[in-house]
Amino acid sequence: MTPLERIRNKQARIGVIGLGYVGLPLAVEFARAGFDVTGFDVDVAKAAQINAGKSYIPDVAESDLSAMVNARRLRATTDMTELGAMDAIDICVPTPLRKTKDPDLSYVVLAVEAVAATLRKGQLIVLESTTYPGTTDEVVQPMLEAKGLKADVDFLLAFSPERVDPGNQQFTTKNIPKIVGGIGEASTQAAAALYATTVERVVQVSSTRVAEMVKLLENTFRAVNIGLVNEIALMCHKMDIGVWEVIDAAKTKPFGFMPFYPGPGLGGHCIPIDPFYLSWKARQNGFECRFIELAGHINASMPHFVVEKVGDALNTVRKAVNGARVHVFGVAYKRDVNDMRESPALDVLELLGKRGAVLSYSDPFVPQLRLDDHVLTSVEVSDVLRHLPDCSVICTDHSVFDYGAIVRSGGLIVDTRNALKQYASPTIFRL
């Protein structure tokens, strides 16, 4: 049976390396489609939780996961030597930045080394981690070919970017179109056939580099537009114009405008990071990405602006930030998720702490938070309202917060997300 036939009749054994926000939903989706799926992770606790039918990713319902585990269609292991038994392998490991803002491909390299150690003829390898154009053919392909097997001939190799949006109820792994680009035609066909078994629409492109660039265009588009709207917010502040009203009115234009919203800064594992993968690679080719760098500066300045707003709010009651009790509502990087990676709330807290504020926070998704050398514990909103802080900051607009009660408490509030849109009060300070 050819690799393509094994995929089409669901006989292929699928391995997913990296069982995080991207890998676990994907593994469950393949299992649901009827494949025999093995998840690989270096984290022993994650593998144990999956094998016990327990989900640690909010977008993966425990009932779905345990049903797949009980039906023996999904299991997890830390034993990478089992990769040799897989017919198709999806790599979904982290691609962070180093402190210097250069790409850190160490997780990808480790995962590919594990794949290379047991690589055999007929295997399909797909990289899903977001990365710069050229990673698949310049880094992954030579590592896999080192022992003599040839890509697109002996084994198949493709890149397919992950577009999942954690917390999004409308668009999930299944109904977000999947981009696929292979090292050659055979690789593209095999990878497209694999995703066609689980995803509603597969879009084939001509190369791995195009597929890698698609993802970076999408995320750069977001980072730059958020940077633009953040700059407009700073500008509106100087001109005493309400930026939220401007955006709401502008978005009534039925063509040629797409609303983006200001906020306390960028967060998550994608938008603050991915554009720098592109600018790094562009620099290697003698090209300077000015939009990316500029948007990065503006977005990084937003936590400072939030702290300035806190100072303005406290000033109205003749108080200084130094010594004030400042409470932050929502610390996850976006609404209704538990992901803290790159969360701008951390910057806001740190900057306030440096100015001498006494800090506390509430986030039902984040029970505890490490800040420098001490740990904060999330406070119940009812307790916050009983012992009002000097000023509150809404950093993340989780839908569970009772905003009416927060406003009625009468305390000063800096609202960075327009969560209090329908309330009018001199105690509210909007971005």
Ligand X SMILES: NC(=O)c1ccc[n+]([C@@H]2O[C@H](COP(=O)([O-])OP(=O)(O)OC[C@H]3O[C@@H](n4cnc5c(N)ncnc54)[C@H](O)[C@@H]3O)[C@@H](O)[C@H]2O)c1
Stretch binding ligand X (CB under 6 A), from 7-15, 42-50, 63-71, 387-395: 42-50
In the annotation, is 270 catalytic?
yes
By C-beta, is 269 or 327 nearer to ligand X? 269
Strand partners, 429: 414
By C-beta, is 166 or 227 nearer to ligand X? 166
Interatomic CA distance for residues 224 and 276, integer angstroms: 12
Interatomic CA distance for residues 337 and 390, integer angstroms: 27
Is residue 17 involved in binding ligand X (CB under 6 A)?
yes
Query: Where are the alpha helices (H) located in 255-362, listed in sequence order?
Result: 274-284, 290-315, 344-354
Q: Binding ligand X by CB under 6 A: which of 74, 86, 93, 302?
A: 93
Q: 76, 51 in Cβ contact below 8 A?
A: yes
CB of 211 to ligand X, least distance (A): 13
Buried residues in 370-379 as b, exposed as e (16+ CB within 10 A): eeeeeebebe
- Contacts with ligand X by CB under 6 A: the residue count is 27
Q: Binding ligand X by CB under 6 A: which of 38, 55, 123, 130?
A: 130
Query: Where are the alpha helices (H) located in 168-261, listed in sequence order?
Result: 185-196, 208-238, 243-250
CB of 83 to ligand X, least distance (A): 10
Amino acid at 61: A
Q: Binding ligand X by CB under 6 A: which of 30, 40, 159, 333?
A: 40
Buried residues in 306-340 as b, exposed as e (16+ CB within 10 A): bbebbbebbeeeebebeebebbbbbbbbbbbbbbb
Is residue 92 involved in binding ligand X (CB under 6 A)?
yes
Kindly state the tokens that stand for 112. Answer: 């590919």
Interatomic CA distance for residues 286 and 24, integer angstroms: 38
Stretch binding ligand X (CB under 6 A), from 160-168, 190-198, 285-293, 315-323: 160-168
Strand partners, 412: 391
Q: 292, 276 in Cβ contact below 8 A?
A: yes
Neighbours of 241 (CB within 10 A): 12
> Cα dist. 404→267, 327, 398, 410 in Å?
26, 17, 14, 11
Stretch binding ligand X (CB under 6 A), from 89-97, 145-153, 243-251, 317-325: 89-97
Catalytic site residue from 92, 270, 391, 395: 270
Is residue 331 involved in binding ligand X (CB under 6 A)?
no
Is residue 195 involved in binding ligand X (CB under 6 A)?
no
State which residue has the least CB distance to ligand X.
Answer: 20
Interatomic CA distance for residues 413 and 391, integer angstroms: 6
Buried residues in 389-426 as b, exposed as e (16+ CB within 10 A): bbbbbbbbbbeebebeebbebebbbbbbbbbbeeeeee
CB of 337 to ligand X, least distance (A): 9
By C-beta, is 82 or 312 nearer to ligand X? 82
Q: Binding ligand X by CB under 6 A: which of 38, 55, 123, 129?
A: 129
Residues of span 171-190 touching ligand X by CB under 6 A: none
By C-beta, is 110 or 117 nearer to ligand X? 110
CB of 270 to ligand X, least distance (A): 5
Q: Binding ligand X by CB under 6 A: which of 47, 157, 270, 369?
A: 270
Q: Binding ligand X by CB under 6 A: which of 3, 15, 18, 262?
A: 18
Q: Binding ligand X by CB under 6 A: which of 31, 83, 87, 107?
A: 107
Which residues would be at the binding site for ligand X (CB under 6 A)? 17-23, 40-43, 46, 92-95, 107, 110-111, 129-130, 162-164, 166, 269-270
Q: Which residues are catalytic?
A: 270
